[in-house]
């Protein structure tokens, strides 16, 4: 009996060893302004602790030991760069744990001294998307992204960049912006940051600069990376902690949605999208045909454009029609009046109509009950309770259409229709 008990006890003690523990990350941040990154790291499955030591040179050995015990330290974008100069500089550089610096201002020669540059600069007004130029497209960190030649959509404005006119560095430049502004640079432990720097990190280091609070201090843009840049960031994190590179977990918060609306009449939808976790911006360009290329670039950089119900359909005809149809980003039209042949021209119909008095519930008839968008819903045969009055519908008596009809009302009024890119309406 004693022998059996001993074996069982040994098995119980072994169980925790069989369960893989999430890598531990300490996110060095003094407040909640790095929470967008914090929540993203949690979504990727890391064990993340937010911590701020203040002046590290004055910290006890217990703090140093705690930091060095982490699988990775990330100095977020929010810390004041003044906490990384003087006696604090060697305290940070002497940490042996792998460490990432996010702040352009902390990385300067007057602070941690990663680069022979005292200058960082703001780009508050654009470009709509800053592109990073990659040094080696075959680098494994780009495994889960699609490069455009040797470039990659990197971040949304406003953003800050480090000015590194003297590009001499002992690190490996992985991605740069505008030739002289590094975005991602790696250093091995024991390698001087740049010739003559005099500062040598005791552990592996990565510069991954991001963010800006110059345009709006109270609402900083501290995690403005595109989904592509987030995939590269995750790959670099896995490199530093010695794990295999995996694709990122994408959540609604990683999707940038632009809601096209000219007033507050679409706010019910706006609030709904925000509740679902999407990164939503309300915007109205007016006559898109008269907009600058910066506006077109901004719209095309979105993961999704939704033309709300409120816009005047007259802003979508004439020269504006091809301007909207030429956008490459995925786009949803909510307005029956905008979808007509006299406007965007989705349907061979100039007619939409009002149903102000009913029915009490309009039912949509679905084409394919097995379509994944109906998962979790209870269909009444092939129909679904759709909307409450009053409501408008488009009249599409000529049902000839190259789109995929998903749901219709009263046989001739489409509710949901899909088109692939490059398909004539």
pLDDT in tens, 322-344: 999 999 999 999 999 999 999 99
Residue with tokens 């993340």: 48
Q: Residue 263: its pLDDT value, please?
A: 96
Question: Mean pLDDT, to the nearest integer, of 364-380?
Answer: 95
Q: Compute the distance between CA of residue 84 and CA of residue 106 in angstroms, rounded to an integer.
A: 7
Q: What is the pLDDT of residue 302?
A: 95
| Whether residue 20 has pLDDT greater than 80 | no
Residue with tokens 């939503």: 280
> pLDDT, tens digit, for every residue of 275-311?
999 999 999 999 999 999 999 999 999 999 999 999 9
pLDDT at residue 397 greater than cutoff 90: no
| Cα separation of the two ends of the chain | 78
Ordered domains of the chain (ranges, CATH): 24-241 (3.40.50.880), 256-418 (3.40.50)
Distances (CA, A) of 128 to 59, 155, 305: 42, 9, 15
Which residues neighbour 17 within 8 Å (Cβ) at sequence distance 6 or greater?
A: none
More confident of the two residues 155 and 164: 155
Q: Give the pLDDT confidence score for residue 91 in this predicted structure.
A: 98
Alpha-carbon torsion, ordered 154, 160, 165, 168, to 10 deg: -60
Question: What's the rounded Cα separation, in Å, for the pair 285 and 291?
Answer: 7
């Amino acid at each position: 009996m004693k022998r059996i008990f001993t074996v069982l006890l040994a098995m119980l003690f072994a169980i925790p060893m069989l369960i893989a523990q999430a890598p531990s990350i300490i996110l060095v941040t003094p407040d909640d302004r790095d929470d967008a990154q914090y929540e993203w790291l949690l979504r990727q499955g890391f064990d993340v602790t937010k911590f701020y030591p203040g002046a590290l040179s004055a910290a006890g050995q217990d703090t140093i030991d705690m930091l060095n015990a982490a699988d990775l330290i990330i100095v977020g974008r929010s810390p004041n760069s003044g906490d990384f100069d003087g006696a604090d500089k060697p305290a940070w550089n002497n940490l042996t744990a792998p460490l990432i610096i996010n702040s352009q201002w902390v990385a300067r020669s007057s602070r941690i001294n990663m680069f022979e540059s005292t200058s960082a600069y703001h780009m508050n007004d654009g470009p709509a998307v800053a592109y990073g130029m990659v040094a080696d497209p075959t680098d494994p960190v780009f495994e889960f992204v699609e490069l455009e030649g040797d470039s990659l959509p990197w971040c949304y404005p406003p953003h800050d960049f480090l000015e590194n006119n003297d590009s001499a560095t002992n690190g490996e430049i992985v991605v740069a912006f505008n030739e002289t502004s590094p975005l991602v640079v790696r250093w091995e432990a024991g390698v001087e940051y740049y010739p003559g720097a005099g500062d040598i990190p005791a552990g592996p280091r990565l510069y991954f600069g991001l963010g800006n609070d110059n345009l709006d201090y109270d609402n900083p843009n501290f995690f403005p990376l595109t989904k592509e840049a987030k995939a590269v960031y995750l790959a670099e994190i896995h490199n530093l902690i010695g794990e295999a590179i995996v694709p990122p977990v994408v959540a609604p918060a990683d999707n940038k949605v632009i809601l096209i609306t000219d007033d507050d009449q679409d706010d019910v939808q706006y609030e709904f999208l925000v509740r679902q976790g999407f990164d939503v911006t309300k915007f109205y360009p007016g006559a898109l045909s008269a907009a600058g290329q910066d506006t077109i670039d901004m719209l095309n950089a979105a993961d999704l454009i939704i033309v709300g119900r409120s816009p005047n359909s007259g802003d979508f005809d004439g020269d504006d029609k091809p301007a909207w149809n030429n956008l490459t980003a995925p786009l949803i039209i909510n307005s029956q009046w905008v979808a007509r042949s006299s406007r965007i021209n989705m349907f061979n119909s100039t007619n939409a109509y009002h149903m102000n008095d009913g029915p009490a519930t309009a039912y949509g008839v679905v084409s394919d009950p097995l379509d994944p968008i109906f998962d979790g819903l209870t269909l009444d045969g092939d129909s679904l309770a759709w909307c409450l009055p009053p409501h408008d519908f488009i009249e599409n008596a000529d049902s000839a259409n190259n789109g995929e009809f998903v749901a219709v009302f009263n046989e001739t009024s489409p509710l949901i229709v899909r088109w692939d890119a490059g398909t004539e309406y």
